[in-house]
């Protein structure tokens, strides 16, 4: 048997998704020798099955939704004819356009050695990948996650979609059952409804359970207007193939039951970290369930091995994996004790309207501080939103009495874009007065941020004491 070829890079990265590619590109451009191992598709879940195809599909769905919006503006549209094959080609085209940025060729041009093989640890400082044996100074595990498959009776007997398969669907979807009301489930439920399918969504808890309930309510209403039938506090207990399609048996938390017959099923019940098959026990790397255990410097129990992204079981977002990759680079290349700050992480659910949040929720903030203040404002108070008839939104600030911004949530048109100044403010520790004092163009949606910030200070600015001061100053010559 041929002995594996030995490679001795500075850094060996397992997984070519967002986190792994961030580390590989940064390390290589800073002069480190890098080996990148990927058994599947370059770009990971984000490029091939997640962010990129989902946002491409959502763009098509949002365009279809403009017919409803046009009617609000006095421009009645005829019913659109949806060609799912054309939509699938659009999604594939977007992936193809972005793929070169994550390609083997691009990373090899940076000097990265890319191995297309499955990696397995063979000790605390050694990985075997195909015919290569890699002994690196540092390792980074960035193996991502995969769709969770819930233990529903009969699920294994029927065909079903996950986020890894639904974007390639070209046949008509008459009635889609979405299992799971998290971001993936909600985004795809709305998208499929706007692309002509009947949609039933089932969620065990409430819609978007990790988001602020106050912000979720307008989105829930829009989903219903789009025709999505939402069952919250319910679970699927059995699925079975019948002549008319697939029969789903629902059990509500109050004990009542219901059955619904659908044509297709989408499983969107969360993600499972990809940590199996790596022989982590040989490397001295511990797991919590399937999640790789790391500290705030993204180090595992083996100080030579780091882990980033979905495989750590934290926030399953592309931008978080990239953020964590940057933390690893600062630790490994510059020997700086950089740590992640979970209190500054933003996230967006790309529905229409979008739902965006950054920082602490009101619930978490009240467990940490006694002087929490809340400021809220509906989009109906924004002139641009009124002009475009897009008033189904609201903004919520979570503050301390001294104006420290703890968290911000926005549901409304372009909420993800509107969140940017709040990400800056929270990340840099700016007070609310920095937002209240902004000079912004009129009329823009961004004025909603300035106005809600100004509302917080208005009671003090127009208080009897300040009014008395002004009257006194006006008496001066």
Say yes or no to pLDDT of 235 above 80.
Answer: yes
Mean pLDDT on 365-381: 97
Say yes or no to pLDDT of 65 above 90.
Answer: no
Q: How far apart are CA 102 and CA 120, in angstroms?
A: 23
Say yes or no to pLDDT of 290 above 90.
Answer: yes
Evaluate whether 454 touches 448 at the Cβ level (below 8 Å).
Answer: no
CATH number of 155-269, picked from 3.30.1360.10, 2.102.10.10, 3.40.50.300, 3.50.50.60: 3.50.50.60
Q: Using alpha carbons only, how large is the chain's radius of gyration in Å?
A: 25
Tokens representing 189 are 């439920």
Of 176, 164, 129, nearest in space to 5 by CA: 129
Tokens representing 193 are 């409804």
Write out pLDDT tens, residues 103-141. Answer: 999 999 999 999 999 999 999 999 999 999 999 999 999
What class is the 5-147+272-342 domain?
A: alpha beta
Q: Where on the phi/psi map is residue 174: left (φ > 0), alpha (ψ -120 to 50), or beta?
A: alpha
List of residues 6+ apart from 112 with CB closer than 8 A: 24, 25, 28, 34, 35, 36
Q: How far apart are CA 56 and CA 252, in angstroms?
A: 34
Write out pLDDT tens, residues 392-406. Answer: 999 999 999 999 999
Model confidence at 66, pLDDT cuts 50, 70, 90, reads confident
Write out pLDDT tens, residues 126-136. Answer: 999 999 999 99
Say yes or no to pLDDT of 34 above 90.
Answer: yes
Evaluate whether 160 touches 149 at the Cβ level (below 8 Å).
Answer: no
Tokens representing 369 are 């501080």
Of the listed ranges 45-49, 106-110, 172-176, 300-304, the one predicted with least confidence: 45-49
Q: What is the pLDDT of residue 231?
A: 97
Q: What is the pLDDT of residue 5?
A: 83
Q: What is the pLDDT of residue 268?
A: 96
Q: What is the pLDDT of residue 296?
A: 97
Q: How far is CA 61 from the centre of its chain?
A: 18
Q: Do domains 5-147+272-342 and 155-269 have the same CATH topology?
A: yes
Evaluate whether 427 touches 398 at the Cβ level (below 8 Å).
Answer: no
Domains of the chain, by residue range, sit at 5-147+272-342, 155-269, 353-461
Q: What is the pLDDT of residue 3?
A: 67
Say yes or no to pLDDT of 24 above 80.
Answer: yes
Measured from the Cβ of residue 219, the count of other Cβ atoms closer than 10 Å reads 25
Of 424, 426, 432, 431, nearest in space to 450 by CA: 432
Please report, for residues 66, 201, 329, 380, the alpha-carbon distance to residue 62 in angstroms, rounded to integers and kept in the order given.
Answer: 6, 19, 38, 21
- Residue whose structure tokens are 């690196």: 136
Q: How far apart are CA 328 and CA 299, in angstroms?
A: 8
Q: How far apart are CA 94 and CA 271, in angstroms?
A: 24
Tell me whether residue 159 is exposed, middle or buried, using C-beta atoms within 10 angstroms of its C-beta: 0 to 12, 13 to 18, 19 or more.
exposed
Where helices occur in 284-414 by DSSP H, the ranges are: 318-334, 362-368, 383-387
Say yes or no to pLDDT of 471 above 90.
Answer: no
Q: What is the pLDDT of residue 74?
A: 80
Say yes or no to pLDDT of 147 above 90.
Answer: yes
Q: What is the pLDDT of residue 63?
A: 86
Write out pLDDT tens, residues 402-460. Answer: 999 999 999 999 999 999 999 999 999 999 999 999 999 999 999 999 999 999 998 88
List of residues 6+ apart from 158 with CB closer than 8 A: 239, 240, 241, 246, 265
Where helices occur in 369-407 by DSSP H, the ranges are: 383-387
List of residues 6+ apart from 455 with CB closer than 8 A: 375, 377
Measured from the Cβ of residue 11, the count of other Cβ atoms closer than 10 Å reads 25
Q: What is the pLDDT of residue 73?
A: 78
Share of the chain above pLDDT 90, in %: 84
Q: How far apart are CA 453 and CA 451, in angstroms?
A: 5
Q: How far apart are CA 431 and CA 397, in angstroms?
A: 12
Of the listed ranges 73-82, 150-159, 313-322, 436-445, the one predicted with least confidence: 73-82
Sign of CA dihedral 425, 426, 431, 436: positive
Helix, strand, or coil here: 284? coil
Mean pLDDT on 338-367: 96
Say yes or no to pLDDT of 78 above 90.
Answer: no
Evaluate whether 210 touches 216 at the Cβ level (below 8 Å).
Answer: no
Say yes or no to pLDDT of 64 above 90.
Answer: no
Mean pLDDT on 237-262: 95
C-alpha triplet 249, 82, 177: angle, nearest 5°: 10
List of residues 6+ apart from 370 with CB closer than 8 A: none
Model confidence at 2, pLDDT cuts 50, 70, 90, reads low
Measured from the Cβ of residue 221, the count of other Cβ atoms closer than 10 Å reads 11
199: part of which helix (H) or strand (E)?
Answer: strand 198-203
Please report, for residues 210, 399, 433, 457, the alpha-carbon distance to residue 366 in angstroms, rounded to integers and kept in the order given.
Answer: 16, 10, 22, 21
Q: What is the mean pLDDT of the chain?
A: 94
pTM equals: 0.93
Evaluate whether 349 touches 183 at the Cβ level (below 8 Å).
Answer: yes
Question: How many helices (H) and strands (E) in the chain?
Answer: 16, 25
Say yes or no to pLDDT of 67 above 80.
Answer: no
Architecture of the domain made up of 353-461:
2-Layer Sandwich (3.30)
């Amino acid at each position: 048997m041929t002995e594996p070829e030995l490679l001795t890079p500075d850094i060996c990265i397992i997984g070519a998704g967002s986190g792994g590619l961030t580390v590989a590109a940064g390390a290589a451009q800073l002069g480190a020798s890098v080996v990148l191992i990927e058994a599947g598709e370059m770009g990971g879940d984000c490029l091939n099955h997640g962010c990129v195809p989902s946002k491409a599909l959502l763009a098509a769905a949002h365009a279809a939704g403009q017919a409803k919006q046009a009617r609000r503006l006095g421009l009645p549209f005829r019913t659109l004819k949806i060609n799912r094959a054309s939509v699938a080609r659009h999604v594939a085209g977007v992936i193809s356009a972005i793929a070169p940025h994550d390609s083997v060729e691009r990373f090899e041009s940076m000097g990265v050695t890319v191995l297309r093989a499955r990696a397995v640890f063979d000790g605390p400082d050694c990985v075997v990948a195909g015919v290569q044996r890699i002994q690196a100074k540092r390792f980074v595990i960035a193996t991502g996650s995969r769709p969770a498959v819930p233990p529903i009776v009969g699920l294994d007997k029927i065909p079903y979609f996950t986020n890894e398969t639904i974007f390639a669907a070209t046949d008509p979807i008459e009635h889609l059952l979405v299992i799971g009301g998290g971001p993936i489930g909600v985004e795809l439920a709305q998208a499929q409804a706007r692309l002509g399918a009947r949609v039933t969504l089932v969620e065990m808890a409430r819609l978007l359970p990790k988001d602020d309930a106050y912000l979720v309510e307008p989105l829930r209403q829009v989903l219903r207007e789009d025709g999505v039938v939402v069952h919250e506090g319910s679970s699927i207990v059995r699925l079975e193939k019948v002549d008319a399609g697939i029969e789903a048996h629902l059990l509500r938390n109050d004990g009542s039951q219901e059955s619904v017959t659908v044509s297709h099923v989408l499983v969107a019940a969360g993600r499972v970290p990809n940590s199996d098959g790596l022989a982590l026990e040989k490397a001295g790397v511990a797991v919590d369930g399937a999640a790789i255990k790391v500290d705030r410097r993204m180090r595992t129990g083996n100080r030579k091995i780091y882990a980033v992204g979905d495989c750590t079981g934290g926030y399953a977002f592309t931008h978080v994996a990239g953020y964590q990759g940057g933390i690893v680079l600062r630790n490994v290349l510059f020997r700086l004790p950089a740590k992640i700050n979970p209190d500054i992480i933003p996230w967006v659910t790309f529905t229409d309207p979008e739902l965006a949040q950054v920082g602490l929720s009101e619930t978490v903030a009240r467990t940490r501080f006694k002087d929490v203040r809340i400021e809220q404002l509906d989009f109906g108070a924004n002139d641009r939103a009124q002009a475009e008839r897009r008033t189904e939104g609201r903004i919520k600030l979570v503050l301390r009495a001294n104006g420290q911004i703890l968290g911000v949530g926005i549901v409304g048109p372009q909420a993800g874009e509107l969140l940017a100044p709040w990400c800056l403010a929270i990340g840099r520790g700016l007070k609310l007065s920095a937002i209240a004092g902004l000079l912004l163009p009129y009329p823009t949606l961004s004025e909603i941020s300035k106005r809600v910030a100004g509302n917080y200070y208005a009671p003090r600015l127009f208080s009897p004491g300040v009014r008395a001061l002004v009257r006194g100053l006006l008496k001066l010559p």
